Structure 1
Amino acid sequence: MRTAVALVRACHPGPTAAVTVLAALLAVTAGHSAGQAALVATAVLAGQLTVGWSNDLVDADRDVATARRDKPLVTGEITRAALRRALVLASAACVALSLAVGLLAGLVHLTLVAAAWAYNLGLKRTVWSWLPYVVAFGLLPAFSWLALDPPAMPPWWVMVVGSVLGFGAHLLNTLPDLDDDARTGVRGLPHRLGARRSSVLAVVALVAGTAVVVLGPAGTGPWWGWAVLAMSVLLSVGALVLGGRAPFRAALVIALLDVVLLVARS
């Protein structure tokens, strides 16, 4: 039981759950049956487990150096050997489940998982740290639509919003660890911009995503879509005026609104 709990903590459970739920919602929106949507979500879950566990293995020495007590490898709750074994099993499951969804869709999913691994293995230290997030989140809707019979591509604006959400997610995910990262030589885009500018950029990007959801689909958007866009703009203006942690919190709220809008308008 202790090992199981440690594995859950090491997979970055918040982002893993969020991406898996988003994949399930996109699969339902695309028109899959409950069983097929569950298969899509399970494949995504396996992929996210490999991303989280590989991240903790790659960063193990850095996490020890910064005394990260939230990391099971640092606290000794799990060994590197045990985490490697879990990673191998999850990787095999990810490949099998992805291809079970469909060859083309499976290859797309494996591509977005590879992009996340590229981030873990080195891109996080460069000015291109945002690119894996943009690629992975942009391709996530394509995984669901290409799994249809016959395969189809999602509306263009769905993939654009996915990429924008990915960019915002990168900035928000990195902000809490900026100081620890700086001490261990990680210099991604948010580190070069700094906390303040990264927060502002996240808010601006996510508001742009809201606008794409409202304006992208053919026809006039529903009144509630315009209301959400207005709310996002007001949140962003208020957060930028207040400063401090306000832009970070506003970006989280706007990201949630974008996901709700994306599913509702797809």
Structure 2
Amino acid sequence: MNTTALLRAAHLGPTVAVTVVAALLAAAADVGPATWVLVVLAVLTGQLTIGWSNDLVDARRDRQVGRTDKPLATGELPRPVALAAVSSSAAACVVLSLALGWPAGLVHLGPCVGSGLAYNLGLKSTRWSWLPYAVAFASLPAVVTLAAEPPALPPWPVVVAGGLLGVGAHFVNVLPDLDDDAATGVRGLPHRLGARRSQRAATAVLVTGSLAVVLGPPGVPATAAWVALGVTLLLAVAAFSGTGRTPFRAAVGIALVNVAMITMAG
């Protein structure tokens, strides 16, 4: 069995990115070493479950458009191996999530992982394709704060910024695959808007998320928050006025800045 193929089928980039965000949020919340490890492992197994199930659901469609980067579509990864992997990760995710306590565990299994699976199973092809991302990213900070002692809900600006980050991430994530998706009947919101308008929509929602983090909390924002917002606005100008790959790269840059801002705010 090709371990590299199994990792590629897990959508390793997004899986690692979301897990790192959860790890940073847990560190910022000072939840303690044992809870930090549980948060990281729960989120990791949840993201693996979403990634592997995505490629399992899309295998026929990926073969149809000749996706050579998809191990299940090319036959490099046998389907029974992928099924065993997703079953194992899902079982581990349930156990690890509930080990965080019922409130945090149910939020992770429902709004976070459940939204990702709902996207895979059909919402990705509708005008509501952005919704699972919004719900999952908005809920992720609550997994951390509800696992803390005492359990608490995260500040509302963090929840709003997380949801907007999720919507922006959705637009940015699907942009490279718009043509292949359209050829097989996937018509999510970015496909309906087109590449250029999707890039601008991603930029707009990400900038709005930045504003929520900086201006939402009471009191005067810290200097670092103003600096981050300034960087975001400069990247937004590049996203709206640039050509070629510049808008896409600028939108990714804004998303990264937002992750840092949400972590600091959380």
TM-score w.r.t. length of structure 1 = 0.97
Aligned residue for 1:247, secondary structure, equals helix
Distance 2:251 2:242 in 1: 13
Matches within 5 A, 1:117-156: 117-156=117-156
The residue aligned with 1:189 is: 189
Counterpart of 1:232, as a letter, is T
Higher deviation after alignment, 76-85 or 181-190: 76-85
How far off its partner does 1:35 sit? 2.1
Distance 1:238 1:119 in 2: 30
Aligned residue for 2:2, secondary structure, equals helix
How far off its partner does 1:239 sit? 2.7
Distance 2:244 2:142 in 1: 37
The residue aligned with 1:98 is: 97
Counterpart of 2:87, as a letter, is V
- Is 1:213 the counterpart of 2:223? The answer is no
Q: Deviations over 1:207-244 (max 9, x none)?
A: 11111111122211112211221221122113312233
How far off its partner does 1:93 sit? 0.3
Identity among equivalent pairs (%):
57
The residue aligned with 2:235 is: 235
- Is 1:250 the counterpart of 2:256? The answer is no
Distance 1:98 1:241 in 2: 43
Higher deviation after alignment, 213-222 or 139-148: 213-222
Counterpart of 1:178, as a letter, is L
Q: Which ranges of structure 1 fall in alignment gaps of 5 or more residues?
A: none
Distance 2:73 2:117 in 1: 21
The residue aligned with 1:25 is: 24
Aligned residue for 2:168, secondary structure, equals helix
Counterpart of 1:223, as a letter, is T
Matches within 5 A, 1:6-25: 6-25=5-24
Distance 2:224 2:39 in 1: 30
Distance 2:99 2:18 in 1: 20
Cα RMSD over matched residues? 1.0
Aligned length: 265
Distance 1:59 1:239 in 2: 31
Q: Deviations over 1:189-218 (max 9, x none)?
A: 000000000000111111111111111222
Is residue 23–residue 144 contact of structure 1 (8 Å, CA) maintained in 2?
yes
The residue aligned with 1:223 is: 223
Counterpart of 1:211, as a letter, is L
Higher deviation after alignment, 65-74 or 185-194: 65-74
Distance 1:265 1:108 in 2: 20
Is residue 240–residue 246 contact of structure 1 (8 Å, CA) maintained in 2?
no
How far off its partner does 1:78 sit? 1.2
The residue aligned with 2:77 is: 78
Is residue 158–residue 265 contact of structure 2 (8 Å, CA) maintained in 1?
no
Q: Deviations over 1:19-54 (max 9, x none)?
A: 001011111112211221111010000000000000
Distance 1:247 1:216 in 2: 27
Higher deviation after alignment, 237-246 or 103-112: 237-246
Q: Which ranges of structure 2 fall in alignment gaps of 5 or more residues?
A: none
Aligned residue for 1:59, secondary structure, equals helix
Q: Deviations over 1:82-136 (max 9, x none)?
A: 1001111111001000001111110000012011100000000000000000000
Distance 1:238 1:143 in 2: 34
Higher deviation after alignment, 150-159 or 10-19: 150-159
Aligned residue for 2:200, secondary structure, equals helix
